Amino acid sequence: MILKSHPSLKELSLNSYLFSDESMNLYEEYIQKTASYIQQFLSNRTFYQGDNLEEILANKEQAKLVNIEGNQTIDSALEELNDLYIKNAIAFHNPTYVAHLNCPITLPSIIAEMITTTINTAVETWDQSTSATFIEQEVIHWITNVFNLSENSDGVFTSGGTQSNFMAMLMARDNYAFKHFKINIKQHGWRSEINKFRIFCSEKAHFSIQKSAALLGMGYDAVIPVKVDKKMQMDVNELVLAIEKTKQEGNIPIAVVATLGTTDYGSFDRIQTIGKVAKEHNMWLHADGAYGGCYALTNTHKDYFKGIELVDSITIDFHKTLFQPVSCSAFLVNDKQHFQYVSYYADYLNPIEDKDPQRPNLIEKSIQTTRRFDALKVWLTLKTLGTKTIANYLEEVHSLTKTVYDNIKDQECFETVHEPALSTVVFRYKTEGITEDVIHNSINLYIKNTLYKAGKASIASTKLQGNIYLKFTLLNPKNTINNLLNIIEMIKTTGEQYKITN
């Protein structure tokens, strides 16, 4: 019997919106059209040239999904989208953007993204991904080699540092419970002993450690913050004291997190010394290298990685310091056996009977099911730019950061707090004659918000001992010292303005 296709379905197929070989003409047309919107976006001279806050709030109306059965053309929807979003988007590649951990991205990574998105490979099982599986494995192999991990090491791509840190804390918990109490948490769930488990990290570690402990049922209180020294590195004597105290209280130290590049200060905890302490106490050693991990590629920062082979697990974010689009991150373990704590064999996806090392199913290492082929962008970047070029970029942003620091550290109107180890500078503007911190706090917030609103510069702020400080995060190797000193001058002028207007 010949089935007659339904006319409306046929129409849909003909107009090519449901992507297939019939879509090629439109695909090429819209790549061109999209490129012209992107070109307008890139031609902006500052990080932001969009609407002011009131206008953006008014745009909320425009974003509403009303009249969606109206069959709007792609052209008109794109026009609308341009006004609503593209024009208002923050340009991370612009040298006036010095706020958060957003890097400019490589062209090969964008090409890879287009391919990944268009082909839409899902990498959870071999039958859905074939060679993509091997490309991801190869990228993982490359990065485990960079860190000198064992032959048994392995890893998986994740959505970001938060997810990677979560996986590390989960494995630390489940491994300790199994090794020391024969508790199989994955199978049987909670046991009272787990209430006593404690995790140690520096007081400057990323909040995702606390968040993971909470999500894993252990609570924020299971995380013991360890004091840092003047360099913002975990004080290892304090760590030893904190572990002893925890034991005396009847609790059980199970893991230490060493941060390789703290979010605010870029400081590196001493992995070798911390690693020895962790091993003495049978604790899991996790290195959170979300920010600083890629600096293992440089010549300038090699020493910070001495002892890295002692780790049980590592977090590394390629969307922070390998110039990759969001999201692109990996979680690595020194012993791949630990992936057993997240593995699951689903009849419909990866039945255990079909297990074959030649056709690996990456789902067995992930807490996600459907997963993007994010490894491709790293692979294409490495093939085309190579690690030396990336290392040069990273060394360049570190050098720019040091120059900014050297420039402001002796100026009366600035107070700096640390010598940058990576690519952040934390400082505050200080008005002469003012001693109250509350006023300094207001002035520094005023500076940050005024420069942002005027589209002149996007600077971050953070708190140190309850007070507001400004922060530069420099991830753009195309930035120049002249531009950065110009932002410093704008900070001074705006700080002075506050005095006059308030």
Ligand X SMILES: Cc1ncc(COP(=O)(O)O)c(C=O)c1O
Binding site for ligand X (CB under 6 A): 101, 160-162, 165, 206, 208, 259, 263, 288, 290-291, 317, 329
Q: How far is the CB of 3 from ligand X (least distance, A)?
A: 49
Q: How far is the CB of 91 from ligand X (least distance, A)?
A: 19
Name which of 258 and 490 has its Cβ closer to ligand X: 258
Name which of 321 and 444 has its Cβ closer to ligand X: 321
Name which of 401 and 450 has its Cβ closer to ligand X: 401
Name which of 260 and 488 has its Cβ closer to ligand X: 260
Q: How far is the CB of 289 from ligand X (least distance, A)?
A: 8
Name which of 101 and 239 has its Cβ closer to ligand X: 101
Name which of 462 and 486 has its Cβ closer to ligand X: 462
Name which of 317 and 364 has its Cβ closer to ligand X: 317
The Cα 372–Cα 121 span in angstroms is: 7
Let me know if 457 is exposed, middle or buried by CB neighbors in 10 A (0-12, 13-18, 19+).
Answer: buried
User: Quick one: DSSP state of residue 2?
Assistant: P
Name which of 290 and 404 has its Cβ closer to ligand X: 290
Q: How far is the CB of 326 from ligand X (least distance, A)?
A: 8
The Cα 368–Cα 360 span in angstroms is: 16
The Cα 447–Cα 359 span in angstroms is: 56
Q: How far is the CB of 446 from ligand X (least distance, A)?
A: 25
The string of DSSP letters for 306-344 reads TTGGG-SEEEEEHHHHS---SS-EEEEESSGGGGGGT--
Q: Which contiguous run of DSSP H or E holds residue 226?
A: strand 223-226
Q: How far is the CB of 397 from ligand X (least distance, A)?
A: 15
Q: How far is the CB of 103 from ligand X (least distance, A)?
A: 12
The Cα 49–Cα 272 span in angstroms is: 46
Both tokens assigned to 317: 């974010």
Name which of 324 and 416 has its Cβ closer to ligand X: 324
Let me know if 413 is exposed, middle or buried by CB neighbors in 10 A (0-12, 13-18, 19+).
Answer: middle
Q: How far is the CB of 57 from ligand X (least distance, A)?
A: 26
The Cα 168–Cα 114 span in angstroms is: 31
Residue 131's CB is within 10 A of a number of other CB atoms, namely 10
Q: How far is the CB of 206 from ligand X (least distance, A)?
A: 3
- The four Cα atoms 259, 265, 266, 268 give a dihedral, to 10 degrees, of -40
Peptide bond preceding 461: is omega within 30 degrees of 0, i.e. cis? no
**C-alpha distances in angstroms, 331 versus 213, 291, 381, 413, 429?**
17, 13, 19, 42, 38
